[in-house]
Copies of this chain bind each other. A is one copy, B any other.
């Protein structure tokens, strides 16, 4: 889904109302040697909202797992595009964006729901599936899309479903009596996720990662999603016209530049969605 990108960029890079506190050892971007699990509705939301933070996490030697709910196989105006081909393109773009920020291809798991159709998946099965993934990866930190009030309007379909489902799976993962088959037959143990950072949090954001030093890397990662932007969204081409690329980057730099800092905004929560 392309349309809301600029809109989201604004909130994703929104400047903190109050001066950012100095980064310290307890902060997300200073973490080392941990396991991080990120959930994204489509193969691009993660880049647009978290690429700077992910790059820092990767640089710090954390293990990062990307779980993508849908294959984003609908959003092209190209009259010759097919869904199968678009899904392939979108996956390759995600792999390239991940490469830029230092995440290997085999750390990406695609759940393969179709774009715009996550809402219609069996919700109980979807929670069970993601609960199993969390119990397997046992992350120290989860990044996911916020199931919050501000974005109800926007979160319908894939976004809302991904947001609610990840949160529900975090809750279920903690208690052995949810989906006991996972322990019985697959040997998975319960896992309590200690800390979550929700993106697309709108005015509920309470945690801001300063990405001034890595904003160009983020833009490089963002521009790997060629097919999400003009002109490739109208008529697919695999590469950028250099001028068009420069124009996009200039635009993105403009949006993010407020009060002197680029940030990525999150709502931080602990345990099962508590402050």
Interface residue A104 (Cβ < 8 Å from any Cβ of B): no
Residue of B nearest to A177 (CB): B74
Give the complex CA separation of A172 and B119 in angstroms. 13
Which of A21-29, A48-56, A152-160, A210-218 is the contact stretch?
A152-160
A106 within 8 A of B: no
Complex CA distance for A157 and B164, rounded to whole angstroms: 9
* Residues on the B chain within 8 Å of A79, using CB: 176
A156 near B147: Cβ-Cβ < 8 Å: yes
Per the bound structure, the CA–CA distance linking A154 and B146 in Å amounts to 11
Interface residues on A, range: 35 or more
Q: Is the CB of B164 within 8 A of A156?
A: yes
On whether A123 and B124 interact (CB within 8 A), knowing A177-B76, A178-B74, A184-B84, the answer reads no
List 23 A-B residue pairs with CB atoms under 8 Å apart, sorted by A's residue number: A3-B271, A4-B272, A4-B274, A7-B274, A73-B177, A74-B177, A74-B178, A75-B175, A76-B176, A81-B177, A82-B177, A84-B180, A110-B185, A112-B181, A116-B168, A116-B178, A122-B125, A147-B152, A148-B152, A153-B167, A154-B273, A156-B164, A157-B168
